[in-house]
Amino acid sequence: MVIEEELKGYHRNIKDLSLDYYGLPAFDVVDVVNSEEDLPLFEWTELDLVRDKVYIIYICTYNARSTQVDVGCFVNSDFAAANYRNQNCKAEGVSTIGSYTSDPYFFPNFPGYTGGISQIGMMLDPAGIIRMNYQTGQGTTLEMYTGHIRTETAAPYENVTSIHIKCEQGAYMAAGTTIVLARGIG
Amino acid sequence: MVTLNLDLEHFHRNVFDASIDIHTYASKRSFVPIGEFVLEEDCAGVTFIGLDIIRDKIYHLYANIINASGATDLLYLIFNENYTLSEYRTEKFYGERQNVNATDNVELMSIIPQYGSTGFIHASIMNNPKLKTWALFRAGVTHLIGEPRNYFGTVRMAPDYDNIVSIGVASNVAEGIGIGSRFQIVIGGFTW
């Protein structure tokens, strides 16, 4: 029976979690940033996503200036926004709207001194595409985003060795910004 | 001014002081549960106290909640035991069959008016440099009998708090958080 054979194959891919995993920490907090000055960029290097499997980033910030400047999540020192694709949905009051852009901006950091919060989960897929899911709440009038960013490069990535949380321009992440980086434990 | 009508004396039985054990976990630098409990009686709210978001940077709250009332159960995230709903702002998506909707109602979610209906919440909570308290949350619930609804949302406090020292969940009805409901709070950003 084909189905039975398929089921046997499927069930070979089982990991019994009852033995060695119980009680281990869920995620390893790699770094906690609490900036003392306005930031244009914050970056981690010497990362290894193949080893760590997943990165989770939390950021809580605000914009102390008078214009909106988006904040993006770049990887592997690739600061060309066109090398990323971004699809999100936004909830605002009683309406929702979708947006597709070629950039890695996950946080439209509005002026108005309110700021917001984001969380990003990052993994490397088998095709060498770096994928990020994000959730962002921000703004004085309050907007809620859920979105997905992927890399769009000619050659696939084999790893993520650096992550760069970067303003579109200028130092628009205000002093006191908190950023947490956690990893899966490889 | 709208304030949740809680039986505070009853409410405060369901308090977990997370400051007691927190330093036990300090050296692990991990997302570690620092407090959890399973309710042994129906109530309208639970609270974790002894927190310090300046020190800890981020908290994660997980909750599985059973509606023990016969009324629609609206659930709210509560900071620093501030039950004045007009001082909270909330924005969220919710999916319901083929439709995606948005609302800025202040509650996280609503559990249907049926005894034994359930829902879950995962919220991540931080303070930004402007002393604004922010949370992101995901929630799932039985909205109609047998039909789920999911939420993605954000909460912001209108008052500026120097610190967040307590985090709780409150219901609009006296038995909105029923016996067997589970709560866990996780710390996620050590700076020691």
Q: What is the pTM of this model?
A: 0.86
Residues in B touching A137 (Cβ below 8 Å): 91, 134-136, 153-156
Residues ≥6 apart with Cβ < 8 Å to A9 = none
From the list B32, B124, B130, the residue facing A58 with the nearest CB is B124
Q: Tell me whether residue B116 is in a domain.
A: yes
| d(C-alpha B46, C-alpha B115), whole Å | 19
Question: Does residue A174 form part of some domain?
Answer: yes
In a domain, B135, yes or no: yes
pLDDT of A16: 63
- How many A/B residue pairs have CB atoms within 8 Å? 140
- pLDDT of amino acid A125: 95
> How much of chain B is helix, strand and coil, in % rounded to 5?
10, 50, 40
pLDDT of amino acid A4: 66
The answer to whether position B71 is within a domain reads yes
SS3 for A2?
Answer: helix
Task: Quote the ipTM score.
Answer: 0.85
- Residue B29's pLDDT is 62
- Residues of A within 8 A of B58 (CB-CB) are 58, 60, 178, 180
Pick from A26, A58, A175: CB nearest B129: A175
SS3 A146: strand
Closest-CA distance, B8 to chain A, in angstroms, reads 30
Structure confidence at residue A12 (pLDDT): 59
Angle at B92 between CA B90 and CA B98, to 5 degrees: 160
Instruction: Kindly state the DSSP code that residue B114 receives in the 8-state scheme.
Output: S
pLDDT of residue A3: 64
In a domain, B109, yes or no: yes
Which of A117, A146, A180 lies nearest to residue B93, judging by beta carbons? A146
- Does residue B125 have a pLDDT over 70? yes
Q: Which residues from B are below 8 Å from A when comparing CB atoms?
A: 28-32, 57-58, 89-93, 100-104, 124, 126-130, 132, 134-136, 138, 152-156, 186, 188-191
Please check the confidence at residue B13 and state whether its pLDDT lies above 80.
Answer: no
Instruction: Classify residue B1: in a domain, yes or no.
Output: no
- Determine whether the interchain pair A144/B134 forms a contact, defined as Cβ–Cβ distance below 8 Å: no
| B92 domain residue, yes or no | yes
User: What pLDDT, on a 0 to 100 scale, did the predictor assign at position A140?
Assistant: 83
- Mean pLDDT to the nearest integer, B164-174: 92
Coil, strand, or helix at residue B176? coil
Report the residue from A29, A117, A144 with minimal CB separation from B190.
A29
Chain B environment of A87 (Cβ under 8 Å): none
Mutate to test the interface with B, among A29, A33, A63 (most CBs of B within 10 A): A29
- Per-residue pLDDT tens digits for B133-142: 999 999 998 7
User: How many folded domains does chain B comprise?
Assistant: 1
User: How far away is chain B from the Cα of A136, in angstroms, using its nearest Cα?
Assistant: 7
Residue A30 lies in a domain: yes
* Buried/exposed code over B103-117 (b: 16+ C-beta within 10 A; e: otherwise): bbebbbbbbbeeeeb
Asked if residue B164 is part of any domain, the answer here is yes
What CATH number is given to the structural domain containing A118? 2.60.120
Asked, for residue A102, whether it belongs to a domain, the answer is yes
Least confident of A85-99, B50-64, B143-157: B143-157
Above 90 in pLDDT, residue B31? Answer: no
Q: What is the DSSP letter of B10?
A: H
Q: Residue-wise pLDDT tens for chain A (186 aa)? A: 556 666 665 555 666 666 555 556 667 888 888 899 999 999 999 999 998 899 999 999 988 888 889 999 999 999 999 999 999 999 998 899 999 999 999 999 878 778 899 999 999 999 999 999 999 999 888 999 999 999 999 999 999 999 999 999 999 899 989 999 988 864
Cα A111–Cα B122–Cα B186 angle in degrees, nearest 5: 95
How far, in Å, CA of A58 to CA of A129, rounded?
22
- Cβ-defined contact of A113 to B130 (cutoff 8 Å): yes
Domain that includes residue B134, residue range: 8-187
Contact criterion met (CB < 8 Å) for B128 and A177: yes
The parent domain of residue A79 ranges over: 26-183
Side-chain half-sphere of A166: how many Cα atoms within 13 Å? Answer: 18
Instruction: Identify the pLDDT of residue A177.
Output: 92
Burial class of residue A52, CB neighbours in 10 A (0-12, 13-18, 19+):
buried
Per-residue pLDDT reduced to its tens digit, B61-79: 999 999 999 888 899 999 9
